[in-house]
Structure 1
């Protein structure tokens, strides 16, 4: 909800219109198609006037990326709430399904955050926090898992990651409570990161059209991948 006086409301409305046009350009031609000059022309603004709302093209991209991560995190969070009473395996499948559905529904936004990085672009520092929020519910699924031998090397490395990086330990603690030990954090992180890698592989190939003409349904492939991961972590 926009707060403040008329000037503040007008500013937020204009920023929203700029982002709406940029998203349309993104859907039509990818990141390279986002052009501030064309946005300014459509809104009947001068170039200098547009820069009062976004300091640069990178500033605009950062806002679009942040919005996408927040939207994805909200979608995954809703799936987590809806499946909280089910088994851990069912919850994992539900979270992964919501991740895929969000991406398929708006592939241009998914590719903005998960596609090929734009040369020379550096995302704002807060982007990392926003990205981790989308994986937070996955930490909750794996916190009490019993990882099998095949994934133990990853669990050990993730436990070490949490040990040496306070921000990572805080991320885990935020979603699963204060870790009782490095094994606890290692299980949660390993499961969440491995779920992300499998989802990214399947979903990215799907939204890029790489599965077109093949004889399978991408959602079935994703379910198989998630069930295999659940087996590795002995999720009921």
Structure 2
């Protein structure tokens, strides 16, 4: 009986925590990142101000959890899309990554804005960053793609004067362990690939691209095709 009670309490806590996070994103959608407030969430849920603090001690704790959850969800989706394409199809894996990133972002626009766009006024992330594991996974995932393209792309890069000290120690160490043949320039290329998959998407999420085209998806796909061609791999 005691175990059943403990299990019921755990389920209730998990449900309430999920509701808190969902309402936080709703508030952000309605009023921007500054609308995220524990007191406002408590009012929406009919909770007392003191009760909600038993779930998140501060608003910054809630924002950090949101960013970590959203970033992990995004990375899970893009990795799954990439891995569904055969390792020999380098271009297909890059396009699958970008396409999955766009699909996730359109389904979670507030999440995209919280991860990549709108700062939350006064927010102080932890010293390691709000989502260090997911951010590192995303970067290493792109490096894995670039590693497959590197035999074709290395002679097309404008600058190979990068050093391992140019990058965060954690990322540099992980890449050197997993891809010992890759030079630092390949990591710089992975960051540029990230910029191209995200840049045009930011214009779409923030409503700028839709002012000029009724087919932003087609424009994005063209960008992905141009990206793989610029790496010297054949577009599908």
Q: How does 1:77-226 map to 2 (within 5 A)?
A: 77-85=79-87, 87-124=89-126, 125=128, 127-144=131-148, 145=150, 146-148=152-154, 151-153=157-159, 155-157=160-162, 159-161=164-166, 165-172=168-175, 178-183=178-183, 185-187=184-186, 189-215=187-213, 217-226=215-224
Question: d(CA) in 2 for partners of 1:89 and 1:98?
Answer: 14
> 1:80–1:137: 8 Å Cα contact kept in structure 2?
no
Say if 1:119 and 1:157 are closer, same or farther in 2 by CA, change over 3 A. farther
Aligned with 1:23 (options 25, 36, 41) = 25
Question: d(CA) in 2 for partners of 1:102 and 1:123?
Answer: 24
Matched residue, 2:3: none
Bigger shift: residues 217-226 or 37-46? 217-226
> 1:151–1:232: 8 Å Cα contact kept in structure 2?
no
TM-score in terms of structure 1 length: 0.83
Unaligned runs of 5+ in 2: 1-5
Number of equivalences: 225
Unaligned runs of 5+ in 1: none
Question: d(CA) in 2 for partners of 1:180 and 1:131?
Answer: 21
Q: Deviation at 1:63? A: 0.9
SS in 1 for 2:178: coil
Matched residue, 1:35: 37
Q: Deviation at 1:101? A: 1.1
Residues 1-42 of structure 1: CA distance to partner in whole angstroms, max 9, x if unpaired?
Answer: xxx643333322221121121122122222122222221123
